[in-house]
Amino acid sequence: MNVVLAKTDTGRAVSSSFALARERLPGSGKVAEQRRQAFEAFERAGLPHRRIEDWKYTDLRVLMREVLPLAAAPDTAALSRAETALKLHAIERTRRLVLVDGVFAPKLSDLGKSEKGLSVRTLREVLEAGDGALQSELLASDNSNPMIALNTAMATDGVVIEIANGTVLEQPLHVVHVASATTPAATFTRSLLRIGRDVAATLVESFVAAEGAKAYQTYDSLIVSLDDNARLDHLRLVEDGLEAFNIASAAVTLGAHAQLNTFGMVSGASVSRYQPTIVFAGEGARVDTNGVNLIKGRQHADTTLFMDHAVPNCASREVFRAVIDDRAHSVFQGRIIVRPDAQKTDAKMMTRALLLSDEAEADNKPELEIFADDVTCGHGATTGALDESLLFYLRARGLPEKEAQALLIQAFVGEAIESITSDSLREHVIAAARRWLEARG
C-alpha cells in the first residue's frame, strides 16, 4: 500500500526536490548518510494520513497534499521584508536569533555582545565542520515518524546553542523563524539547545510571516537536553500566516532535578502540528507543559505530546486550552507512559476545549500507559460552549455580548497563560491573545 502511495505525484515531487536540494544541504560523509536513510524512511511512508493511528485527526495527504520545494536562500529584498516583520514581533530585552526562510540571518540577529557560558553556532557550521558526536546527535532521527525523517533529510540550517554548567543567562534567547519568500516554498530547520548543569535559561521561539509570504511550509525540529538541576522556561508562539503550514517536533531530555516549564500558543498557520517528546532521564525532575490554541476560520491545530516517565520520582503537568471559532479544528493527543521502574511518578493532564461556533471541532485524546504500581496519574478532558449563565451575568452588569465573551475567553485561557513565570513574556502573550480576541470583532 505504502509503496504504491509513495509513487504518487507527491512522492515523485518530493523525491526530485530532495535530489535537487542535496547540494545545498550542509554536511557530508556520515551526515549525508543519515540524511539519505531518513529520506528513504520518508519516501517509504509518504505523507502521513488518517489510517495511521497518530495522524488520525491530521491527515496531511488531505490537508497539505504535497511537500513544496526547498525555499531559495533569502535575497536582500527577502531579508528586508523579514526585518520589517521582526519589528512587529520583537520582544524587548531578549537575545534575538533569526532564521529567514530557514537560513540563519546574522545581520538580523543579536550576536554582537557575547555572554560568558553561552555558545551560539549555526546548524550549517556544525554539520560542515563540527565534531562528529554533535553531528550525530543533531541528525539522530526517529525515522518511524515520517515528518521527523523528512526534517532530518532536508534540515538546511538552524541554531546550535550550548550553555555551560552553572550559567544563568542574562537574557532570554528569542529564536525567530521568519517566512519571507513570496513564492510558495518549504523551509526545513533544526536547532539544538544543550543546557548544562545548574543552568537557568529562557528560550522563546516565534514563527512569523513577512509581508507577501503566504502558502509556505515550515518544518522545524528542536532538540533540547537539560543536564542535572537545570531549568528551562520555554515559550513557543506560532503566529504564521493563515495560509501557511507549520509541522514541527521537539525532543527534550531532562536530567536529575531538572525543570522544564513550557508554554505554547498557536494562533497562526492554516495547518499546524507540534510533536513534543519529553523524556525523564534523571530522578526528581519536573515538567509543566501548558498550551493554548486560538483558532478560527478553517485553521487546524494539532498538538501531539509524548511524555515518557522512564525513571522514578518525576512529576509532569499538562494544561491545554483550545478556543475554536468558525470551522476550525483543534486536536490534542497526549500520551503519558510510566515505565515499570518509574515509581512515585506524579503525572496529570487536563485539556479543555471551548467551542465558539456550532461547526467548530475539538478532538482530545489522552492516553495513559502505566506500568508502575505506586504512582499518581490522572487526566481529564472537557469540551463545551461558553456558559450561558455566566454570559448573562456579565451582560446584566453592562458588558455587550462580544465583550462578555472576550472576558470569559480570556479567563478560559488564563490558567494556562498564568504558568508563564516571566512578567514581560506573560504580558507579551496576553497582548497577543487580546489582539486575537479583538480581531474577532
Partner 1 sequence: MALLEVKDLQVRVEDREILHGLSLTVNDGEVHAIMGPNGSGKSTLSHVIAGKPGYEVTGGQILFRGEDLLEMEPDERAAKGVFLAFQYPVEIPGVTTMNFLRTALNAQRKARGESELLVPDFLKKVRSVAAGLNIPQDMLKRGVNVGFSGGEKKRNEILQMALFEPSLCILDEMDSGLDIDALRIAADGVNALRSPERAMVVITHYQRLLNYIVPDYVHVMAKGRVVKSGGKELALQLEESGYAQFEDAA
Q: Which residue lies nearer to partner 1 by CB, 36 or 402?
A: 402
Q: What is the dihedral of CA 209, 171, 119, 103, to 10 degrees?
A: 10
Q: Which residue lies nearer to partner 1 by CB, 235 or 413?
A: 413
Nearest of 319, 235, 226, 320 to residue 279 by alpha carbon: 226
In angstroms, rounded to a whole number, what is the distance separating the alpha carbons of residues 349 and 316? 8
Q: How far is the CB of 266 from partner 1 (least distance, A)?
A: 20
Stretch that binds partner 1, among 20-28, 137-145, 171-179, 409-417 (CB under 8 A): 409-417
Q: How far is the CB of 395 from partner 1 (least distance, A)?
A: 4
Q: Which residue lies nearer to partner 1 by CB, 373 or 388?
A: 388
Q: Which residue lies nearer to partner 1 by CB, 371 or 392?
A: 392
Q: Which residue lies nearer to partner 1 by CB, 379 or 395?
A: 395
Q: Which residue lies nearer to partner 1 by CB, 200 or 390?
A: 390
Quick one: CA dihedral 269, 215, 241, 22, positive or negative?
A: positive
Q: Which residue lies nearer to partner 1 by CB, 132 or 400?
A: 400
Q: How far is the CB of 411 from partner 1 (least distance, A)?
A: 3
Among 142, 197, 415, 440, binds partner 1 (CB under 8 A): 415
CA distances from 169 to 162, 164, 193, 227, 235 (A): 11, 10, 13, 15, 16
CB 297 within 8 A of CB 327: yes
Quick one: CA dihedral 209, 210, 213, 218, positive or negative?
A: negative
> Taking CB under 8 A as the rule, does residue 142 contact partner 1?
no
User: How many residues in the shown chain lie near partner 1 by CB under 8 A?
Assistant: 23
Q: Which residue lies nearer to partner 1 by CB, 369 or 401?
A: 401
DSSP H/E element including 35: helix 30-45
Q: For the stretch 54-82, what's the b/e string if a residue is b when 16 or more beta carbons lie within 10 angstroms of its beta carbon?
A: bbebbbbbebbebbbbbbeebeeebbebb
Q: How far is the CB of 390 from partner 1 (least distance, A)?
A: 5
What track of x and - describes contact with partner 1 for positions 177 through 196 (by CB under 8 A)? --------------------
Name residue, grid cell 455587550. 400
Q: How far is the CB of 387 from partner 1 (least distance, A)?
A: 8
Among 414, 421, 424, 427, binds partner 1 (CB under 8 A): 414
Site for partner 1 in 378-407 (CB under 8 A): 387-390, 392-401, 403-404, 407
SS3 state of residue 201:
strand
Q: How far is the CB of 404 from partner 1 (least distance, A)?
A: 8
In angstroms, rounded to a whole number, what is the distance separating the alpha carbons of residues 432 and 265? 9
Q: What is the dihedral of CA 202, 203, 204, 205, to 10 degrees?
A: -170
Q: Which residue lies nearer to partner 1 by CB, 255 or 291?
A: 291
Among 289, 412, 425, 436, binds partner 1 (CB under 8 A): 412
Q: How far is the CB of 389 from partner 1 (least distance, A)?
A: 5
Q: Which residue lies nearer to partner 1 by CB, 7 or 402?
A: 402
CA–CA–CA angle 315, 316, 318 (5° rounding): 160
Q: Which residue lies nearer to partner 1 by CB, 128 or 403?
A: 403
Stretch that binds partner 1, among 12-20, 130-138, 332-340, 410-418 (CB under 8 A): 410-418
SS3 per residue for 293-362:
EEECCCCEEEEEEEEEECCCCCEEEEEEEEEECCCCEEEEEEEEEECCCCCCCEEEEEEEEEECCCCCEE
397 burial via Cβ count (<10 Å: 0-12, 13-18, 19+) = exposed
Name residue, grid cell 514541527. 248
Q: How far is the CB of 150 from partner 1 (least distance, A)?
A: 40
- What the block records as the C-alpha cell of 57 is 485527526
SS3 state of residue 183:
coil
Site for partner 1 in 23-52 (CB under 8 A): none
- Contact residues for partner 1, defined by CB under 8 A: 387-390, 392-401, 403-404, 407-408, 410-412, 414-415
